Amino acid sequence: MAGDALLEVERLTMRFGGLTAVDDLSFTARRGEITALIGPNGAGKTTVFNCITGFYKPTVGRITMHHDNGERFLLERLPDFQIPRTAKVARTFQNIRLFGGMTVLENLMVAQHNPLMRASGYTFGGVLGIGGYRHAEREAVELAKYWLEQTGLLARADDAAGDLPYGDQRRLEIARAMCTGPRLLCLDEPAAGLNPRESDELNRLLLFIRKERGVGILLIEHDMSVVMGISDHIVVLDYGAKIADAAPEEIRNDPKVIAAYLGVEDEEVEEVEHEIEETAAAVSGEEGSQ
Ligand SMILES: Nc1ncnc2c1ncn2[C@@H]1O[C@H](COP(=O)(O)OP(=O)(O)OP(=O)(O)O)[C@@H](O)[C@H]1O
């Protein structure tokens, strides 16, 4: 059900030699919600993502993924390739990692390599076009088209991914992650480098994904218009430790957060707050009119 715990991070600590990048961090991301992880540069956000998605094994701590059928997966114990496949956690990266020479549609087909391989019986089933494989391939194309439509990229399906404008490439990465059928989608700075129109399209896409059955989103983002506009819940890190964990309205007024994260002069705080309020009002107005 929406609002149930989806990802539980408990007492997570990650040390690199003498540096504690993440320090005794606990938080919960819920099903059907957008949780943002924010903090100044070097606060430890990407390290948290790397622990969740198996790139790093935490020094200490437990990371539990809950599926709605009651199954639980301890991510720190799973081999990293099992985290997307079995625990159903997908991620995107700060820098775009598409196959630029492949078409947009091919990028989404590659994302579905595992089920297609299974359907081919890990043999020449695909080449021979056996019935089960053909059916699986049709389903994979349908799923790819569905996400291309949701990301507004259907008309570009046959173009090389590397030829798309930057904002389209960012949305294609999200479409690719969605094609793996995740229950938790981890996005590392999806709004980085986007212009205001593209950032708006991203907000709409993420709100749509939130509505998808059982999917939760965990988001690292510096763009406050995205964070404050669409998050249900925000966790703030500073020097690896959690300094706040609350709804956007509370975070916005938390002096600890303003001091640590925004790091701006008093007169600028007011200006930033005003900008955030305007964006949040525009997004909720659009949501209401849909
Ligand atoms: N593999 C590593 N080896 C050593 N130190 C690391 C490693 N990965 C991250 N760090 C250090 O851990 C700290 C947290 O880095 P991290 O990239 O998680 O921060 P961040 O909050 O994601 O920053 P940004 O917003 O700039 O992306 C930094 O001091 C960084 O230098």
Closest ligand 1 atom number to CA of residue 94: 27
188 shares a domain with 58: yes
Last residue of a domain, one of 120, 150, 180: 180
Of 15, 20, 47, which is best to mutate to test ligand 1, by the most ligand atoms within 8 angstroms of its C-beta? 47
- Residue closest via CA to ligand 1's atom 6 equals 16
Pocket of ligand 1 (CB under 6 A): 16, 19, 21, 39, 41-47
74 shares a domain with 123: no
130 shares a domain with 82: no
> How close is the Cα of 54 to the center of ligand 1, in Å?
16
ipTM over 0.85: yes
Name the domain count of the chain: 2
Mode of pairing for the β-strands spanning 72-74 and 60-66: antiparallel
Q: Determine the average pLDDT of the residues in 41-45.
A: 93
188 shares a domain with 255: yes
pTM of the predicted structure, to 2 decimals: 0.83
pLDDT digits (tens, 9 = 90+) for 117-163: 665 555 555 555 555 667 777 888 889 999 999 999 999 989 999 99
Selected residue with higher pLDDT from 154 and 100: 154
Task: Give the CA count within 13 Å in the CB-facing half-sphere of 160.
Answer: 5
190 shares a domain with 82: yes
Residues 6+ apart with CB under 8 A from 151: 168, 171, 172, 174, 175, 205
191 shares a domain with 130: no
Q: Is the dihedral of CA 154, 232, 221, 191 positive or negative?
A: positive
- Residue closest via CA to ligand 1's atom 3 equals 16
283 shares a domain with 195: yes
104 shares a domain with 17: no
55 shares a domain with 113: no
d(CA 44, CA 261): 13
Q: 60: pLDDT confidence band, cut at 50, 70 and 90?
A: very high
Domain that holds residue 154: 98-180
Residue 231 inside a domain? The answer is: yes
- Residue closest via CA to ligand 1's atom 8 equals 47
Residue 93 inside a domain? The answer is: no
**Can you give the CATH number for the domain in which 70 is found?**
3.40.50.300
176 shares a domain with 196: no
8 shares a domain with 148: no
279 shares a domain with 237: yes
